[in-house]
Chain A
C-alpha cells in the first residue's frame, strides 16, 4: 500500500490552516486597509436652519410639494394644528415635515418649538455608498440626488441611512421609486440650480442657503453673539462626518428632544468600505486564495505521492 510521505501531509495541514487564515485575515478590521476619509468640498452648498425662529406655519411643506409635483396641502389643511398630534416623518410624497415640541415649562401653546425634518445631504452619504447600482450620487454642489432609472428597488439605501430618510412607494405596482428631499436639485424641479423652495418660501427666514463652510462660520458666530438663545452645538457639523444641512437649537432644548438623533462623527460608509477595499485591494486576496486552493488541489491529487514513496518491498 502507498504511504503518504510525512512532508506532504504536513504541507496539506499547513495549507489548510493558511487557507482558513487568508479570508479571516482579510476580514479582521485591523488588517483591512483604511480608506480615504470624507473629503470636504469648498463648493458644497448647504442650509442653516435656525429652529427657534420657526412658527410652524408649514408653508415650506406646501412649497416642497409644489416644487416636486405632489399634492399641495390646502390653506385649511396647513393651519389645522391637529396635524401636530403625532410625530410625522417625511414620506414618499412629502419630503419634509414640521413637528411640534412642547416648550420647557410645558402645557403652553406659545413657546412651542417647531423643527423641520428632511434629508441632511451628508458629506459622506451612506445611501450613496450603499446603492449597488449608483442610483444615489452627491452632486458637485452638495445635494444628494436619485436616478430612478437605475434603481432596482432593493431598499438597501433605507437600511443604510442613519437618519432613516429615504422612503419607498410600496403601493406603486410597476415603477415604485425611493423618495427623499433633493434640495430641489432633481430634474424637473423649477428651483434646480438655485435656492430650494422651502428656503425661499419661509416667511420667518428660518433657513439660510449658502456655502456650507460659510454657514458653519455664521452658525458659530450666532452662538457666540447670543449664548443665551442658542445651544452651543451645530447639529450636522460633525454628525456622521458632517452634513450639508446644519441646525441651531434653542438654548434649553437638546437636539434629541427635538427629534434629532444622537450620532457620532464617523461616516457609516467608512466601516463597510474599509472592509470592502481591504478584500479587493488590487484583487490580491481573492487571487491569492484561488492560487492557494489550486496549489492544494495539485499537491493533494491522488497518485501524486507515488513518486515520493519508497518502492514496495514485494516489488509491486
Chain B
C-alpha cells in the first residue's frame, strides 16, 4: 500500500561553491588543531581559566551537539516502535544526523580534554556515583548502536549496482560487497533491539546531561538552579529532536534543490507543539515553585539571557506552531523549527556557561576566536560528510528521485 519513494543516493554535484566554503572552514579548523595538539595546548587556544573550566566546546560541541542529534531516536521511536509508517522516509536522514552528530560530539570532546588519549578510561575505570560517568558510558553505547543502525544503509549502498563511486572507492566497494551481503541479514534482524536500546540510552544520557550542573548549586544562577534539570533536558531533547529533523530536512532540500517534504514535516510539527507545551509548563512551574521569578527583572546578563531563551526559543515558536497555517507553510515552519533549535542551543549555553558563577572570578569567560573557529569547522565538516554520504548512499527518499519499488 506504500507509495513512498525508496531511499536512493542523491544525484547532485558534490563540488559546489557552498561545499568549497565548508571545506575552507574545515581547513582552518585543522590548522588550529595542529596548534592545539602540537604546540600550545589548551592555554594558547582557549580562554579557559581556573575559575572557568568549561567553555564553548563543552556547552556547544558536546551539550548542544547531543541535544541536536536527538532526532535520531525520536523519529526512530515514531517510525519503528509506534510503527508510524508515514515517517519512515525521514528516519534515515534523522539517523544520519544522529550518527554524525554524536561522532562530532566525540571529536569536539577530544579537543577539550586535557588528556584526550585517556578518553577510553571510563570503560575500564568505573565511578558509578558520577553523573558524567553515566553520560559517557551511555554515549559510548549509543554511538555503537547508531553505527549498527546505519550499517544496513551502508551495505545497501555497497550492494547497489546503480550508481558508481569515484575511482578507488569503486574498487573498495567491490571488495566490500561479499562482506556486506553476508552481514546484511544479521544487521536487519537486530534492528528492532537496537532501536529500543537507542531510545532507552538516549533518554538516560539526554536527561543526565541536565544533571551535570546540579552538583554545583552554590555556583548556579537561581533561574537555572533546579533539581528537575534532568527532566527539563529530557523534554527539550524530545522537542528539539523533531525540530532539528524538520530544520535539517528543509535545509537539505533547499541546498540540494529538492522540494521540502511537507507531507511528512507538517504532521511531525504537532509533536513539537506537544513537547514544547510540556517543557514550558515544567519550566514555568519550576520558576514559580522555587520563587526565582524575582530575578527576571534584575537586569543582569543572566536574566536577559533567560528571557530571550523563554521568549524567542520557546514561547514564540510554540505560539507559531499552534497554527495549522504555520505548520503547512514551508518558510514559517522552517523559522519556527529554527527558533526551537536555537532556543535549545541557547539553553545549553545558558546552563553550562551563563548560569555558572564561579566564586572568585575576576573576569567573565568568552570563547577565543580559535574556539569559535574549531566549533564552526567541526559543524562544517559534519555538513560535508552528510553531503557526501547522501550523495553515495541510499539515505534520502524523495519523490523527485522516486525509484519505484
A interface residue numbers (CB < 8 A to B): 12, 16, 23-24, 27-29, 87, 89, 91, 126, 129-134, 150-156, 158-160, 162-164, 167-173, 175-176, 261, 263, 268-269, 271-273, 275-276, 279-280, 286, 289-290, 293-294, 296-297, 300-302
Q: Given A132-B136, A133-B127 in contact, is the A152-B121 Cβ separation under 8 Å?
A: yes
Residue interface bits B274-299, CB-to-A below 8 A is 1, else 0? 00000000000000000000000000
Residue interface bits B148-168, CB-to-A below 8 A is 1, else 0? 000000000000000000000
Who on chain B is nearest to A134 by CB? B127
Of the 9-residue stretches B203-211, B243-251, B307-315, B337-345, which lies at the interface with chain A?
A: B203-211
Q: Is B300 an interface residue (CB 8 A)?
A: no
**Chain A residues with CB under 8 A of B51:** 164
How close is B281's CB to chain A, nearest CB, in angstroms?
12
Task: Please determine whether A153 and B216 come into contact, CB atoms closer than 8 angstroms.
Answer: no
Q: Is B218 an interface residue (CB 8 A)?
A: yes
A293 interface neighbour in B112, B196, B231, Cβ under 8 Å: B196
Q: Is B360 an interface residue (CB 8 A)?
A: yes
Task: Please determine whether B118 and A153 come into contact, CB atoms closer than 8 angstroms.
Answer: yes
Task: Please determine whether A297 and B125 come into contact, CB atoms closer than 8 angstroms.
Answer: no
Who on chain B is nearest to A289 by CB? B200
Task: Please determine whether B50 and A176 come into contact, CB atoms closer than 8 angstroms.
Answer: no
Who on chain B is nearest to A170 by CB? B43
A23 interface neighbour in B43, B83, B130, B203, Cβ under 8 Å: B203
A152 interface neighbour in B46, B116, B131, Cβ under 8 Å: B116
Who on chain B is nearest to A29 by CB? B227
Q: Is B134 an interface residue (CB 8 A)?
A: yes
Task: Please determine whether B48 and A170 come into contact, CB atoms closer than 8 angstroms.
Answer: yes
Q: Cα distance A42–B53 when bound, in Å?
A: 34
**Chain A residues with CB under 8 A of B86:** none
Who on chain B is nearest to A149 by CB? B118
A173 interface neighbour in B40, B196, B200, B360, Cβ under 8 Å: B40
**Chain B residues with CB under 8 A of A276:** 128-131, 134, 208, 211
Task: Please determine whether B231 and A28 come into contact, CB atoms closer than 8 angstroms.
Answer: yes
Number of A-B pairs, beta carbon distance below 8 Å: 196
The contact sample of 6 A-B pairs, CB cut-off 8 A, is A130-B130, A154-B112, A164-B360, A167-B50, A171-B41, A297-B80
B interface residue numbers (CB < 8 A to A): 38-44, 46, 48-51, 53-54, 77, 80-83, 85, 112-116, 118-119, 121-122, 125-134, 136, 192, 195-197, 199-200, 203-204, 207-208, 211-219, 227-228, 230-231, 234, 356, 358-360
Task: Please determine whether A297 and B115 come into contact, CB atoms closer than 8 angstroms.
Answer: no
**Chain A residues with CB under 8 A of B40:** 171, 173
Task: Please determine whether A273 and B50 come into contact, CB atoms closer than 8 angstroms.
Answer: no
Q: Cα distance A263–B50 when bound, in Å?
A: 20
Task: Please determine whether A297 and B83 come into contact, CB atoms closer than 8 angstroms.
Answer: yes
Who on chain B is nearest to A260 by CB? B359
Task: Please determine whether B215 and A160 come into contact, CB atoms closer than 8 angstroms.
Answer: yes
Q: Cα distance A280–B359 when bound, in Å?
A: 33
**Chain B residues with CB under 8 A of A289:** 199-200, 203
A302 interface neighbour in B83, B208, B358, Cβ under 8 Å: B83
Q: Given A286-B204, A296-B82 in contact, is the A171-B217 Cβ separation under 8 Å?
A: no
Who on chain A is nearest to B278 by CB? A20
Q: Given A130-B215, A293-B200 in contact, is the A155-B54 Cβ separation under 8 Å?
A: yes
Task: Please determine whether B228 and A29 come into contact, CB atoms closer than 8 angstroms.
Answer: yes
